[in-house]
Amino acid sequence: MNNKTLTRVALRYRAVFLDINRENINMKSEASVPVMAFVTRLKENGFCVSEELLHALNAAPADRLAEITECINDVMGVKLNWAPLVKGWNVPTGESLADHLITWIANIFGKEAGFKGTTLPCGHLIPEGTFPIERYNGCPFCGTPFETADFVYKGQASKLKELRLFTIEDMKHVFASLLASTTPLDGTQKDSLEQLLREFSLPEDANITMKETAMLVIKLLVEQNKADEASKLLKTPTDVLRYLWYEKTGYVQIIEPKTLVAHARKLYFHMWGPLDRGADAAKDMKKKLMLKYDRKACLRVALWLNAIPLTARQAAENMNPKRGMWVRMIRALRLGEYSRKNGFDHLAEILDVFYKQDYSTWQGRVDKARSENDADMTLALLKERPGLFARCLFASMLRFGSDKVLAAFEEIADKMPARLLLSLGNAAEAYFDPKEVRLARPITGVTHQIEPNKLLALYDDEARKAMTGAVNDLYKASMARRFAIQQTEAKTIFIDPALYNIPVSVGDRSATIQDASCALMGTHFPVEGDAVRLFLQWGKGLHAQHLDMDLSARVTLPNGQIAECAYYNLTCVGAKHSGDIRSIPEMVGTAEYIELSLPELEAAGAVYVTFTCNAYSTGALSPNLVVGWMDSANSMIISEEKGVAYDPSCVQHMVRISEGNLSKGLVFGVFYVAKREIIWLEMPFTAQTMRGANSESIEALLHKLESKLSIGELLDMKAKAQSLTSVENAEEADEAYTYEWALNPAEVTKLLNG
């Protein structure tokens, strides 16, 4: 068992993994000297320990304590280079556009033209009277750093984050909850599940309901030569095709290859600019999609399809929507050849019905009924497939009238997954508002705006509001019935107030990885001090090269005015930038910061501040780039010697860009000045600078997150349906729902299993 792997996963849940039994912990023992030293090091990184963990640590050997310390230091970036371009950057250098212009001219004509100054290691001449070069760690003209820092500040935090004990049983519980999650896993959860699948065997009774989770599990089982175990997760031919597509592209949703190639061309054109790069990307995607399989893979798929628990007609109908792709797959996988072998009778029957097209399709019948405006037939067919009914509910209400459609939908509402019901409740207000911009984030990762349904114009405001209210009443009533029939002996419930600021994880997922927490997108973080310090660190483990990542902040002021703090404008109202670094030093990476002054922002009447990071010089954000913010009621130091301003103990939230992430820009937070709270969100975009982050889209996403049902509100519904009395102390409650409990989003989704 890999203790390092389990330690990293446990830390995401604010816990420390120890391979011990809880029954063996001596709760009366005194903390040893090594344990006290370990706790002191934790405090420097902003952590404290629970009483149970403190006593459990006494049983851990010194090398295990050192291993945990090393893991936490690595996660918190203690050993990274956090030196920015400017020393003591809280005091502006006064550099201007004129300094850059004069330096540019001087480097064209050189000292021979009479320019005097200093030639830096990068070769650039900095003329006298321009940049105060004694204030810089590198070249102020080209952004190449010459100095690095081998230290960070520690222990300045005003608030410590408590770490709990995780045992093997706790890790297995997390593993099971990730497998059983009824909502799609985000980037952090996927990474955790992948690591845990390499440590634990797939449980015999595993109930994996999410297709995305199943595909990830199947891929890992195939890699481990356990394809037979994977077959029980494949219920339909579409599941098999979905895996084959996921294996090729990394995408779970199946889209036509031509569409994906065209998207690759368009995406890379947005990222790189030159058309030839887009053409190259399209060629690479075509090559990636070539259907070449060895005999082992062909046999595996043949066995899977032969074991599908559907009749041949049902299987063929299931294959019909992607008929063109299936024809290519059948040929590439030699399925016709295998269907003639002994023991593959079911596969032979499926292919026979598929090629003869001896079946009718449900979707074809629905389309025919819709085209004939036959509401009764359309609704009767939709009731046969509740999930698909839910996905077209709003459009059907506009087409056939809300009363008739909702009456039909209510008959099957309790049969569908609760997450779909919550999605309907969350989306209703925006959908039925003819002025509301809605957002969609398809598998390709780029956020798109969706125009309102044109049929909304046929209804007045009162009718549209009535539709929204009817949808909300319907889903709340269904959720109440689900909670009411759940068996419980509890009489009291504790709901942490913080849970009312965390939306239920339905519909919005983050693609980044959170190594020090598992906060849900839309979580509100209260700001305690008078400063918020943004940070960006990139380039760890890479050779010295030109690699320009940018950290930016956009301040929204009254009357629609905007102020920007970025590489092209290092100071603006309430914000200061540490300088634009465009190259990275050898292997250790580099950093940029922005300091937000709350008193200055409040005095200027600022409404909110948007945080963004961008890849300026390359096609996408650098893998393992870390971005986040710090906050503390205590003042946070900025080094006058090196400019280092990072303190792991003050980090409130941080995320890491994962491998394969194609985002060129990322909005990662919005700070509401008056409320003194930061909302963590994740909105990718394809622009080179923060000016490409559409304000309308950001506000639409914020509105979407704000309108979503919170975990606290969902628990209120549960308490009311089960007649539970709310208490103010977790220790006094039969059921306690704390912030620590919510750190496992997969555990939260169990509320939706009823």
In DSSP notation, 375-440 reads HHHHHHHHHHSHHHHHHTHHHHHHHH-HHHHHHHHHHHGGGS-HHHHHHHHHHHHHHT-TTPPEEE
State whether 125 and 249 are in the same domain.
no
Domain CATH for 645: 2.60.60.30
Beta bridge partners of 538: 590
Cα–Cα distances in angstroms (integers) from residue 550 to residues 13, 414, 626, in the given order: 30, 48, 12
State whether 587 and 700 are in the same domain.
yes
What is the residue range of 54's domain?
3-75+156-197
**How many CA within 13 A on the CB side of residue 715?**
27
Cα–Cα distances in angstroms (integers) from residue 143 to residues 271, 549, 571, 640, in the given order: 22, 11, 17, 19
Whether the per-residue pLDDT at 618 is higher than 80: the answer is no
Q: Per residue in 339-361, is it b (16+ CB within 10 Å) or e — as a string?
A: beeeebebbbbbbebbeeeebee
DSSP one-letter string for 28-81: TPPPPHHHHHHHHHHHHTTEEE-HHHHHHGGGS-HHHHHHHHHHHHHHTTTTS-
State whether 180 and 218 are in the same domain.
no
State whether 118 and 228 are in the same domain.
no
Residues with Cβ within 8 Å of residue 616, at least 6 apart in sequence: 548, 549, 550, 567, 582, 688, 689
- Mean pLDDT of the region 216-229: 90
* pLDDT tier for residue 276 given thresholds of 50, 70 and 90: very low
Does 146 fall in a domain?
A: no
Does 270 fall in a domain?
A: no
Q: Report CA dihedral (286, 289, 294, 295) to the nearest 10 degrees.
A: -130
Does 84 fall in a domain?
A: no
pLDDT tens for 506-534 read 666 788 899 998 888 888 899 999 999 99
Residue 599 is predicted with a pLDDT of: 97
State whether 118 and 223 are in the same domain.
no
Q: In degrees rounded to 5, what are phi and psi of residue 290?
A: -60, 135
Q: Report CA dihedral (400, 405, 407, 408) to the nearest 10 degrees.
A: 120
Q: Per residue in 118-132, is it b (16+ CB within 10 Å) or e — as a string?
A: eebeeebbbbeebbe
State whether 528 and 657 are in the same domain.
yes
Handedness of CA 501, 504, 508, 512 (dihedral sign): positive
State whether 328 and 302 are in the same domain.
yes
Does 42 fall in a domain?
A: yes
- Mean pLDDT of the region 316-344: 93
Does 638 fall in a domain?
A: yes
Residue 257 is predicted with a pLDDT of: 63
Distance separating alpha carbons of residues 19 and 331, to the nearest angstrom: 50
Token pair of 705 as six digits: 């997150």
State whether 612 and 653 are in the same domain.
yes
Distance separating alpha carbons of residues 653 and 21, to the nearest angstrom: 32
Residue 316 is predicted with a pLDDT of: 93
Does 582 fall in a domain?
A: yes
Token pair of 246 as six digits: 């996921």
State whether 379 and 463 are in the same domain.
yes
Distance separating alpha carbons of residues 593 and 208, to the nearest angstrom: 42
What mean pLDDT value characterizes the chain? 88
* pLDDT tier for residue 660 given thresholds of 50, 70 and 90: low
Distance separating alpha carbons of residues 102 and 702, to the nearest angstrom: 43
Residues with Cβ within 8 Å of residue 218, at least 6 apart in sequence: 230, 233, 234, 243
* pLDDT tier for residue 285 given thresholds of 50, 70 and 90: low
Beta bridge partners of 439: 449
SS3 assignment for 272-298? HCCHHHHHHHHHHHHHHCCCCCCHHHH
What global pTM score does this model have? 0.83
Domain count, the chain: 6
Residue 301 is predicted with a pLDDT of: 96
Distance separating alpha carbons of residues 689 and 732, to the nearest angstrom: 52
State whether 628 and 744 are in the same domain.
no
State whether 337 and 379 are in the same domain.
no
Beta bridge partners of 537: 591, 626
Whether the per-residue pLDDT at 565 is higher than 80: the answer is yes
Q: In degrees rounded to 5, what are phi and psi of residue 552?
A: -140, 160
State whether 436 and 464 are in the same domain.
yes
